[in-house]
Structure 1
């Protein structure tokens, strides 16, 4: 491991986590996560632990998890294989990938608690960021979606967002390691794999500049969130029936949308709506008509020249036939 690579990684990690952190590295066995493991162990030593989540979705997954365990054992790295049943499908958007992601992060959080790790590191890199932005742009995402993969999210840190996939592959190869080859990464069944193949043929994309744009959008999203927190304290009022939102007539649409999203979540935290659904509900409320988001009913309570009030409450239960 070159000193320059370790020093670079240490700087990237220090920008996201405390210098003396105990880091739990999520390792699937692919080249990106193996590179993350090697870098973290070189930089942190015994303060680096690892875990592999076996989702049980492929026949080979158990052997791949064992391969990672052997790799860690050979280097004196504490490692655990984590497995549990997939969460039940809940809602139209809870597809297999979403359920696997929920399981993965839940198990990693529990393992971090068990071993006293401060942060959990995942191996998202600059090429992942480009793919994520293009996929979300193609789906009509707003500012929050176009912020891409965030460098931090709770206890999750992603210190490789400034690294290219090719750099990580080369680092693993230099150690004589033949990483796991997950066929889903090249399968045309998956949108990201198809996009990855197409991007490989484009040589004019500047990954660094795209990552910088994602970071700028992330800053913008944080700024909007900061404003929404302060507006919610001023404009949202809870009473015995639910929540009333005072809506000034000149309040920008994005702030209206986020305040509605906040009110809906405060009424029923289990209600999960896509941004487009919330936007449609805001348009409906602006027209003076009631709107439904999951189990939450929203309706205009008062109209006026300078603004309106929107009331949010649990919808009454449906009558059985």
Structure 2
């Protein structure tokens, strides 16, 4: 059972340590499906932190082979002295027009992993998303007209989730697994053309001019730009928005469109913390307010009032309050 090459270990160590700025002594849960990507991640994490590596395989119950694959991963882990658990629960019900099977499975997977992370006293969950996944994600989002946030692609960090392989190619990871003497599990859904990502993967497979690592780096740069815009929106909200018992007010000042909808998002969440309107709804709300219109989004009434200024001028005051209850007929 050959360990990963020294060069791969050093490359991985630099990213892995950067993504764990705190709690470096705490265990890390590694999400392992049995595919080459996740097995390579498991080998690299285990090589770096030893017994602190906790492998977890989620059986979504969608394929009869899943239980056997989980048992196979458990056997590989046992052979290397790696702690392993299989996590199972019922797939959540469909909720909303876009809650397809893939989305529901993803929601279940992260919920089970987070529950296990907390129970095991681990600080982080590591997943094996890599550069090829990033390219596929960016192309899919380009086709959907995504903005800066969407084109940031798969983030390196999201709460307790870290993704240290976003600059690694699929072939490189497969080579690490092969060198270790392990055989990866092939998920048939990866080549099932009923899925958008599988069709795109097949199309991109023959493209030789696309530098996937550089595309992944572009996504990293866009994520940094998105973070900067969020920072600016937070600063604008803190300096220019005022809250009271009834809601939030903002004396409008000219701002780029990307900041307008982000500011609306913060005002809406300040009034209704449980709300989670999508970007499209927030953009429409900002445009309506710029036209001086009243609009309701996520149970928050957004309106524009005229506010006299000391210099005799009139300013537009954007006002956000809880919408009154709807009348029942």
TM range (shorter): over 0.9
Question: SS of 1:309's equivalent?
Answer: strand
Give the corresponding residue for 2:208: 203
1:152-197 alpha-carbon deviations (Å, 9 max, x no partner): 1111111111110011112212223221211111111111111111
Question: d(CA) in 2 for partners of 1:306 and 1:110?
Answer: 53
Is the 1:302–1:310 contact (alpha carbons within 8 Å) kept by the matching residues of 2? no
Structure 1 residues 172 and 145: CA distance shift in structure 2, 3 A: same
- Shift of residue 267 of structure 1? 2.6
Question: d(CA) in 1 for partners of 2:56 and 2:307?
Answer: 55
Q: Of 38, 45, 55, which residue of structure 2 is paired with 1:33?
A: 38
Are 1:7 and 2:10 matched, yes or no? yes
- Shift of residue 269 of structure 1? 3.5
> Which is worse superposed, 238-247 or 140-149?
238-247
Are 1:255 and 2:259 matched, yes or no? yes
Question: d(CA) in 1 for partners of 2:6 and 2:327?
Answer: 68
Give the corresponding residue for 2:317: 309
Is the 2:271–2:300 contact (alpha carbons within 8 Å) kept by the matching residues of 1? yes
- Shift of residue 14 of structure 1? 1.3
Give the corresponding residue for 2:290: 286
> Which is worse superposed, 232-241 or 71-80?
232-241
Question: d(CA) in 1 for partners of 2:317 and 2:138?
Answer: 36
TM-score under structure 1 length normalisation: 0.93
Question: SS of 2:165's equivalent?
Answer: coil
Question: SS of 1:269's equivalent?
Answer: coil
Structure 1 residues 59 and 317: CA distance shift in structure 2, 3 A: farther
Give the corresponding residue for 1:185: 190
Question: How many residues get paired?
Answer: 320
Within-5 A mapping of 1:45-194: 45-194=50-199
Structure 1 residues 277 and 121: CA distance shift in structure 2, 3 A: same
Is the 1:267–1:314 contact (alpha carbons within 8 Å) kept by the matching residues of 2? yes
Is the 2:306–2:316 contact (alpha carbons within 8 Å) kept by the matching residues of 1? yes
- Shift of residue 202 of structure 1? 0.7
Is the 1:16–1:152 contact (alpha carbons within 8 Å) kept by the matching residues of 2? yes
Question: d(CA) in 2 for partners of 1:97 and 1:270?
Answer: 25
Structure 1 residues 284 and 125: CA distance shift in structure 2, 3 A: same
Give the corresponding residue for 2:327: 319
**RMSD of the TM alignment (CA)?**
1.8
Is the 1:24–1:121 contact (alpha carbons within 8 Å) kept by the matching residues of 2? yes
Unaligned runs of 5+ in 2: none
Structure 1 residues 307 and 176: CA distance shift in structure 2, 3 A: farther
Q: Of 204, 218, 222, which residue of structure 2 is paired with 1:217?
A: 222
- Shift of residue 124 of structure 1? 0.5
- Shift of residue 205 of structure 1? 0.4
> Which is worse superposed, 193-202 or 16-25?
16-25
- Shift of residue 299 of structure 1? 1.6
1:28-65 alpha-carbon deviations (Å, 9 max, x no partner): 11110011011111121111111111122222222222
Structure 1 residues 198 and 37: CA distance shift in structure 2, 3 A: same
Is the 1:146–1:214 contact (alpha carbons within 8 Å) kept by the matching residues of 2? yes
Question: d(CA) in 1 for partners of 2:220 and 2:315?
Answer: 35
TM-score under structure 2 length normalisation: 0.91
- Shift of residue 125 of structure 1? 0.4
Structure 1 residues 306 and 86: CA distance shift in structure 2, 3 A: farther
- Shift of residue 85 of structure 1? 2.4
- Shift of residue 315 of structure 1? 2.2
Give the corresponding residue for 2:233: 228
